Amino acid sequence: MSRLMVATAAALAWAAPVAGQEPNVETQDIERFFSVYDAHGGAPDAATLQREYFDPGTRGLAEFAKLRRVSAESIARRLRSDPALYVNARECAAAIPPVRVRLQKALAELRRSYADARMAPLHLVIGHGKPVGVGNPSGAYIGVEALCAWTVPNPNVEDRFVHVIAHEYAHVQQPRAEEVNDDASVLLAALMEGGAEFVAELTSGSVAYQHFADVTKGREKEIEAQFLRDIDATAMGSKWVYNGFGTKETPGDLGYWVGYRICKSYYLNARDKRQALRDIIELSDVRAILDKSGWEPGMELPAKLPPVE
C-alpha cells in the first residue's frame, strides 16, 4: 500500500457513524473513487466511472451529481485535463480526522444554540472540480477535490474544511434555502449566504470566506452603499452572489460578506440572542432583518461574537 493509500485509508477510517452521534458523515464515495482510480492507473474512463463509482454510489453522491450536473463524463474529462487536482485531493484527505473532531464541537454548539437544529447527513464526495459545496434541508454536500484545491479563503486545509463545512451545514438549517432561485432578490440571497457565514462563525469560530476581510479593507462604505442600491434587484446575474471568484478589484460573491455583516449587526443589537439566531436562520422576513439590524454601509463591527445564552 502506497503512502497516499495509507493516508487516504486513515482519513476515511471514521466513515462509520458513532452510536448517538449526529449527523452521519458519509465518506464511502471518496474511498470508492480512489479504489477505482488506483485500479485504472489514475485515469478511469467515463464508462468505468459510471459502472464502478456512480452506480454503486450513495444517495448523497447521486443527489450531489443531480444538483450540480456532475457526471462520469465530466469527471473523466477533468481527470484528463487536470490530473493534479485528484492527486492533491488524496493528499489533503489526511486532514479529515481532525476536521471531524472540530466539526463535532461546532455542531454541538449549533444544537445548543438552536433548538430545532437539523442533523441531516453530511456527504463528502469526489466531483469534477466544482462546486466546493452545497447545502439544503436534505443535507450538506462537499466536493472534496474542489475544497482541497480552493485555497483562497484560507491556506490551512483543516481550517478551510471546518469553516466551509460549517457554512454549508448552516444551509441545512435554513427553511428557505431552496428558495434562492432565478426570482430571488439580492437581499434574500445575501442574507441566506451571509446568514450561513454568521452561523459558521458562531459555531466553528470563523466565517468560511475569510478573504473578504482583506479585499474589502478600506472600501467597506463604498461597497455596501452600492449593495444597498441593489437589494431589490434579481440575485442571479447580479454582481453580488453566485458570480465566481471575480478579480482583486471586483471580487465575486461580495453579497456574502455584506449579508454576514447585516446578520452580525442584527444579532449584536438584539436583546434575545437565541431569538436573533432563529430569525437569521429562518429568514421569515428579510426586510425586517435589514431594518432592525442597525447596519449602515461601512459601519465598524466588533470582531468577537457573544455566545447564545
pLDDT score recorded for residue 182: 72
Confidence class for position 16, pLDDT limits 50, 70, 90: very low
With H, G, I as helix, E, B as strand and everything else as coil, classify residue 119.
coil
pLDDT score recorded for residue 22: 67
Q: How far apart are CA 126 and CA 137, in angstroms?
A: 21
Report CA torsion sign: 104, 109, 114, 115: positive
Contact 163, 260 (CB under 8 A): no
Nearest to 202 by CA among 305, 111, 120, 298: 305
Per cent of the chain over pLDDT 90 is 79
Locus of grid cell 491556506: 155
pLDDT tens across 246-266, in order? 776 677 899 999 999 999 999
In the chain, what is the straight-line distance between the N-terminal and C-terminal CA atoms, in Å?
50
In this predicted structure, the answer to whether residue 243 has a pLDDT above a threshold of 90 is no
pLDDT tens across 89-136, in order? 999 988 888 998 999 999 999 999 999 999 999 999 999 999 899 998
pLDDT score recorded for residue 72: 98
pLDDT score recorded for residue 248: 67
- DSSP letter assigned to residue 306: P
Q: Which three cell numbers stand for residue 288?
A: 425586517
Nearest to 215 by CA among 160, 242, 253: 253
pLDDT tens across 175-191, in order? 988 777 778 999 999 99
pLDDT score recorded for residue 13: 39
pLDDT score recorded for residue 151: 92
E-strand ranges in the chain read 25-26, 122-125, 133-136, 139-143
pLDDT score recorded for residue 281: 98
Q: How far apart are CA 116 and CA 19, in angstroms?
A: 21
